[in-house]
Structure 1
Amino acid sequence: MSSFPVQPLSPLDGRYRPVVAPLGEYLSEAGLNRARVEVEVEWIIALTSRSLFGTRPLSEVECDRLRLLYLDFGQKEIDALAEREAVTRHDVKAVEYLVRDRLAEIGLGAVAELTHFACTSEDINSVAYALTVKRAVHDVWLPALQRVIEAVRALAHQHRDAAMLARTHGQPATPTTMGKELAVFVARLARVERQLAASEFLAKFSGATGTWSAHVAAAPDVSWPTVTREFVESLGLDVNPLTTQIEPHDWQVELYDRARHAGGILHNLATDIWTYISLGYFSQIPVPGATGSSTMPHKINPIRFENAEANLEIAGALFASLSQTLVTSRLQRDLTDSTTQRNIGVAFGHSLLALDNLRRGLGEIALAEDVLRADLDGNWEVLAEAIQTVVRAEIVAGRSSISDPYALLKDLTRGHRVGPADLAAFVSGLDIGNEAKERLRALTPATYTGLAADLVDDLP
């Protein structure tokens, strides 16, 4: 059995491998097997530390030697497991045999029968998956998400005062600032990031059908729920005490749904930045030696954001499939989760690739403030909202007898282009107080941004 494909089928293992390789430390088959060895080894140490079945606690030197089985896990172990699995046709059993063999080699053959003691394969898998997913999320994926959030946050503060024309339904609307619009994404992403960072990582270690039956048969006086809870918690995980043969995976469903949610927000960010580039709001900083088009020399394509968009869609589909599949298992166990969980790394891989492209893309754009100003100056009709709102306030205050200010401004601006002179003349002829007229005549599209800039300062 070959350990690695000679010709990778997935682009994550070929073209994009340098970007996603850190996830492979945890979410590859080798990473999973390393974690399985870790669980088997730590279970032996946990059992002997309690002197169960006449054993003695292993010395510190013996524990260190035993832990090298997973700390030094490498190609030799990968190949040995491949050979074993070719015979056993069972991945966890291959791991058990590997640990047993190594125990004898390091002089601990006397405790070999404690390998996989009272465990079903899903006890090992449950803990191993929780360990690998937790480590991949906290060590690799969340930091990548946080780097994107901080990149957007920096741009939001940099452009807090950069007035720009908003577009609702794609049409000119009340002006905002680029900083405020980017701050919206920061707030959205930060909220989901906090939820992701607080995710639970649950495992079970209660035997073939979640009843500790074999444990109790071997040692009826031992509080096995306490022993296994302390064991799982010693690995930095939370325990699910009420399960079938499998831990029901609800924590995974919650995690992948949140990751998909984050991906949806990031997808929105990618398409908005792409649109701003299309409008000329952002210019792209040329990368020396890069080619935008094979035939049009002038082009700089927004490929970072397009790549991110596509990979987020793939990741989202995979996260959704994981959530939909893992939430169900027939009766006490079926194997649909086995193949499904082997794609966890693929989902996070495409998501990580998207995060990398977004971070790089955000560092390769520059705000074209002259374009923003020209766009604002070409759309003075957006001040109609301000004028009709001020008139309404004047009516309430008893300083105006206008009957329908909205209709008045609609007649003036809907479907018409108006300039500063048109609006100034219109305001001067309004039946409102002089102070209100002065405020309106001083207003421009570039200054009609309300509290947009201040909202950036309120970012958490």
Structure 2
Amino acid sequence: MKRNIFENISPLDHRYSLRENEFNDYSTYLSEKSKVKYQAQVELALVKALAKRDMCSTTVVEEVETAIEELTTEEVYAEEKKTKHNIRALVNSIQAKVSDEAKPFIHFTTTSFDIVDTANSLRYKKAAEELILPTLKELEKLLMNIALREKDTVQVGRTHGQHAVPVTFGFSIAEYVSRLGNRIQEIEAKSEQLKGKIAGAVGAYNASHLFFEDPESFEADVLNELDLEASSHSTQIVEPEYMTDFVHSLVSTFGVIANFSDDMRNLQRSEIAEVGEHFGEDQVGSSTMPHKRNPINYENVKSMWKEFMPRMMTLYQDQISEHQRDLTNSASSRFIPELIVGLLASVNRLIRVSKKLVVDHENIQKNFDQNKEMIVAEPLYILLASYDHPDAHEAVRKLTLEAEEKDKTLRELVVEKEELKPYVEKFNDKQKKLLTNPAKYIGIASEKTEKVVEKYADELDIELSI
């Protein structure tokens, strides 16, 4: 039956996953169907490890493998209606498809959360490797190309919402190249650290020790089938910090793209208008003001961040589990996939927008020109101080006030002030040029942009288009 997205409850389904290819990508790792599939893979890995130790035959492995290929989420849920237990339902559903010889080896010596925690670590690790990281790297590459393209575009710097000394637009974008690149590396590291367990009901290997002198080595055998390692200590659950750290890496990444979106949204303000989103021919910006072109995509990303960022608090709360385990994380942990989808939907939105980002060079220049003469205040004060002026900051502060009062430039006033001539005459040619051309006062913004892009292109193995 075709999926009717408008009968779903979550806006992640009926509003933010409308693109079929993206929905299918998310579903591969984050749907309920995928969760059951990965849990079944853990049960299969258990049987494979038992066969390698001659506890069961390879025929049993083949039976179980076939059974889980045929397994459907619907039948597991139907079984859960009877058992009132999701993993027992999974086990019963697999056992119903295999011979009596194979049945005893399914779920052998394990507890439910050997399966649940190991499957979650496995699918989130796979999702990070095959979906999250490639998507983030696509956005990172776009930002790198914009940064390099605009590395020499002089832009007024802004601190506290006020014009500061100049940077370049490429330098502004390079901030996010660096921050996002750092988060990509963090996600990669934390996803690799996700752990599994096959340690039984309280983590002490009580059941597996009945059969194996070294149950930890058996645990390692099972997890090796899944390319996972065991937590250094387990109770009924894997130590929660591994998952907490992984989700934190995602949430902090969400913060980076939300900050980027906020910057781009503010640069689209009518009175600034330095960048713009591509606007479709039939797109409407306001229900009553036909002329408006709202920065809806950047606003959406920040709005999504506001929804999902607070969920990190739930992960911190899930660190707490009484004694060997309580059930207070059983519901809350099921919502981690929503957070991942929220992040991916926002990243994919920024990918689409960034491909069509419009930079208005005329407005960037116009905004710079508004206060370019006052920009001279910083290098002037520093240069005067360097040549032993006793109170350079105060002298320049008074000059700025006089410039505003007399509608003159700082440079004009400096020439007029006899008391400053002994110091100004000591300026070298480079220093004099900075005062006569404020647009040159950009430090190493262009070079730094290149350096940042090269660093992360190399470390993340990204091939640039420019």
TM norm. shorter chain > 0.5: yes
Any residues of structure 2 matched to 1:112-191 within 5 Å, and which?
112-191=103-182
The two structures have a TM-score, normalised by structure 2, of 0.88
Matched, 1:43 2:41: no
Equivalent position of 2:327 in the other structure:
335
List per-residue Cα deviations over 1:396-445 (Å, max 9, x = no partner).
xxxxxx43111111012149648996333223243225462754365323
In structure 1, give the amino acid aligned to 2:301: A
List per-residue Cα deviations over 1:222-256 (Å, max 9, x = no partner).
32110111211221112114211111221001111
Say whether the 8 Å CA contact 1:100–1:115 is kept in structure 2.
yes
Question: Which residue of 209, 212, 220 corresponds with 1:216?
Answer: 209
Equivalent position of 1:227 in the other structure:
218
Structure 2, unaligned runs of 5 or more: 456-466
Shift of 1:344: 0.8
Say whether the 8 Å CA contact 1:311–1:353 is kept in structure 2.
no
Instruction: Report percent identity of matched pairs.
Output: 23
Shift of 1:186: 0.9
Any residues of structure 2 matched to 1:21-36 within 5 Å, and which?
21-36=24-39
Say whether the 8 Å CA contact 2:278–2:353 is kept in structure 1.
no
The 2-side partners of 1:229 and 1:437 are apart by 69
The two structures have a TM-score, normalised by structure 1, of 0.89
The 2-side partners of 1:117 and 1:369 are apart by 67
Equivalent position of 1:399 in the other structure:
none
Greater CA drift, 13-22 or 125-134? 13-22
Say whether the 8 Å CA contact 2:64–2:102 is kept in structure 1.
no
Cα distance change, pair 68–300 in 1 and its aligned pair in 2 (3 A): farther
The 2-side partners of 1:339 and 1:4 are apart by 25
Q: How large is the RMSD of aligned CA atoms in angstroms?
A: 2.3
Say whether the 8 Å CA contact 2:47–2:61 is kept in structure 1.
no
In structure 2, give the amino acid aligned to 1:161: D
Matched, 1:411 2:398: yes
Shift of 1:4: 9.6
List per-residue Cα deviations over 1:311-344 (Å, max 9, x = no partner).
11212112332x2122110111111121111101
Secondary structure at the residue paired with 1:174? strand
Cα distance change, pair 65–258 in 1 and its aligned pair in 2 (3 A): same
The 1-side partners of 2:35 and 2:276 are apart by 44
The 2-side partners of 1:126 and 1:297 are apart by 52
Say whether the 8 Å CA contact 2:45–2:223 is kept in structure 1.
no
Structure 1, unaligned runs of 5 or more: 396-401
Equivalent position of 2:459 in the other structure:
none
Shift of 1:273: 0.7
Equivalent position of 1:346 in the other structure:
338
Cα distance change, pair 111–458 in 1 and its aligned pair in 2 (3 A): same
Say whether the 8 Å CA contact 2:132–2:344 is kept in structure 1.
yes
The 2-side partners of 1:336 and 1:87 are apart by 23
Aligned length, in residue pairs = 437
Shift of 1:213: 1.1
Equivalent position of 2:411 in the other structure:
424
The 2-side partners of 1:14 and 1:174 are apart by 46
Equivalent position of 1:242 in the other structure:
233
Question: Which residue of 348, 351, 356 corresponds with 1:356?
Answer: 348
Shift of 1:64: 5.3
Question: Which residue of 83, 88, 96 corresponds with 2:83?
Answer: 88
Matched, 1:288 2:281: yes
Shift of 1:307: 0.6
The 1-side partners of 2:224 and 2:241 are apart by 18
Say whether the 8 Å CA contact 2:308–2:339 is kept in structure 1.
yes
Say whether the 8 Å CA contact 1:427–1:437 is kept in structure 2.
no
